[in-house]
A and B are shown apart, each in its own frame.
Chain A
Amino acid sequence: MSFLDSFFSRKRSDTSSNVARDRLQILLAHEREAQEGGESTLLRTLHAEILEVLARHVSIDEDNVQIKLDRGQKCSKLEIDIQVPQSGLRAQVSTMTPNEDL
């Protein structure tokens, strides 16, 4: 790519350094919170309590409850996937939450 090509074809916002900056901003906002115990504590508590409720009714393994989080700049997506092996039942919940609420 010649200098002129690169000058015209690339918008400022498309450069890889801008992608790097945006990824870091999202990641570090979450990691700073996690160091103070916020987010990861919430997920661990959710996981433990869901298991506890289910165990009252069916026999269930820790791995049958999966909690996933997809962190975004403004919103995060929370996914909860529960499988009850004997019954073949499976429940999936997914929700988008603005970051301030999480």
Chain B
Amino acid sequence: MAKIVVVTSGKGGVGKTTTTAALGAALARSGQNVVVVDFDVGLRNLDLIMGVERRVVFDLINVIQDEATLNQALIRDKRCDTLSILPASQTRDKDALTSDGVARVMKELRERFDWILCDSPAGIERGARLAMHHADYAVIVTNPEVSSVRDSDRIIGMLDSQTARAQKGETIEKHLLVTRYDPSRAARGEMLSVEDVVGILSLPLLGVIPESEDVLKASNVGAPVTFASPESAPAIAYFEAVERLEGKDIPVTIPTEKRGLFDRIFKKRGS
């Protein structure tokens, strides 16, 4: 049975696109058929993070408006052939996303993929609502910071009331992913701790992704962090999150940078 997962947050810039790419790549690496879908019409970025920006010809809006078939719009990842991306349109506006059109595309994708990961735009408007509408499962991306937690709470309310599942009286599985976490700052009481965030939002935890420069480096070269540096702390955390997404009950750890002081000095000299 295909699963539709929405990666959402309310607040902008918390790591939704980074997460969609990293989870999608990790799932696909285990041989499952995965598509990542960009719902951020007008501000598409998933193509850049996935490194396929030069191969985009048709997009989600073209498919919705019958200007292209799904096959024409889907781009297959060159590093992993079970991973595809459906880009958003950069030029059209959000009104071109019709709810009937989105429903049709989601139905077609369900027939062809095991996992459909939807990268939601920020906000609580039409684009965000359509991205979550067909989801079976929601990953709520939250930074340990007051405005992000508040917006997540708002999004959780919308997931419970406005999605197709909610309207049919079914539940949508919701999991929290805390990203850009700095364990040392949390320990000093300068940052909300994971326990605080989980306590406030009372959702099960999918994972904790540490703040790391490897994420920026991966985006520079156009690769999901789980492909670009699979041994890095954020990648390990994303791989663990994927295991939980698949239903495995494993304890949540917070991987930290293993590089010690000596490594660092050594590296500087070497380079």
Whether chains A and B associate is: yes
* Interface positions of A (Cβ within 8 A of B): 6, 10, 12, 14-18, 20-21, 23-25, 27-28, 31-32, 35
Q: B150 touching A27 by the CB < 8 A rule?
A: yes
Q: Which residues of A contact B193 (CB under 8 A)?
A: 17
Least distance between A26 CB and chain B CB atoms (Å): 11
The complex places the Cα of A31 from the Cα of B152 at a distance, in Å, of: 12
Whose C-beta in chain B lies nearest to the C-beta of A25? B200
With A28-B200, A32-B157, A35-B157 as given contacts, are A17 and B149 in contact (CB-CB < 8 Å)? Answer: no
21 A-B contacts (beta carbon < 8 Å): A6-B188, A14-B189, A15-B190, A16-B189, A17-B191, A17-B192, A17-B193, A18-B189, A20-B146, A20-B196, A21-B192, A21-B199, A24-B150, A24-B200, A27-B150, A28-B200, A31-B150, A31-B153, A32-B157, A35-B154, A35-B157
With A17-B193, A23-B146 as given contacts, are A28 and B188 in contact (CB-CB < 8 Å)? Answer: no
Q: Which residues of A contact B189 (CB under 8 A)?
A: 10, 12, 14-18
The complex places the Cα of A10 from the Cα of B188 at a distance, in Å, of: 10
Q: B192 touching A28 by the CB < 8 A rule?
A: no
Least distance between A6 CB and chain B CB atoms (Å): 7
Least distance between B197 CB and chain A CB atoms (Å): 9
7 cross-chain pairs, A with B, having the tightest CB-CB distances, nearest first: A15-B189, A21-B196, A17-B189, A17-B192, A28-B153, A20-B146, A35-B157
Whose C-beta in chain B lies nearest to the C-beta of A23? B146
Least distance between A57 CB and chain B CB atoms (Å): 41
Whose C-beta in chain B lies nearest to the C-beta of A12? B189
The complex places the Cα of A81 from the Cα of B264 at a distance, in Å, of: 63
The complex places the Cα of A20 from the Cα of B149 at a distance, in Å, of: 10
Residue of B154, B157, B196 contacting most chain A CB atoms (<10 Å): B196
Q: A31 touching B154 by the CB < 8 A rule?
A: yes
Please provide the chain B residues from 137 to 194 with a CB less than 8 Å away from any CB of chain A in the complex. Answer: 145-146, 149-150, 153-154, 157, 186, 188-193
Whose C-beta in chain A lies nearest to the C-beta of B186? A17
Q: Which residues of B contact A15 (CB under 8 A)?
A: 188-190
Please provide the chain B residues from 66 to 114 with a CB less than 8 Å away from any CB of chain A in the complex. Answer: none
Q: Which among B153, B186, B190, B191 is the interface contact of A32 at CB below 8 angstroms?
A: B153
Q: A24 touching B149 by the CB < 8 A rule?
A: yes
The complex places the Cα of A27 from the Cα of B151 at a distance, in Å, of: 12
Q: Which residues of B contact A28 (CB under 8 A)?
A: 149-150, 153, 200
Q: Which among B149, B153, B190, B200 is the interface contact of A16 at CB below 8 angstroms?
A: B190
Q: B190 touching A17 by the CB < 8 A rule?
A: yes
Given contacts A12-B189, A15-B188, A17-B191, 7 further A-B contacts (CB under 8 A): A15-B189, A16-B190, A18-B189, A23-B146, A25-B200, A32-B157, A35-B154
Least distance between B46 CB and chain A CB atoms (Å): 30
The complex places the Cα of A18 from the Cα of B153 at a distance, in Å, of: 18
Least distance between A21 CB and chain B CB atoms (Å): 5
Whose C-beta in chain A lies nearest to the C-beta of B146? A20
Whose C-beta in chain B lies nearest to the C-beta of A11? B189
Q: Which residues of B contact A25 (CB under 8 A)?
A: 200
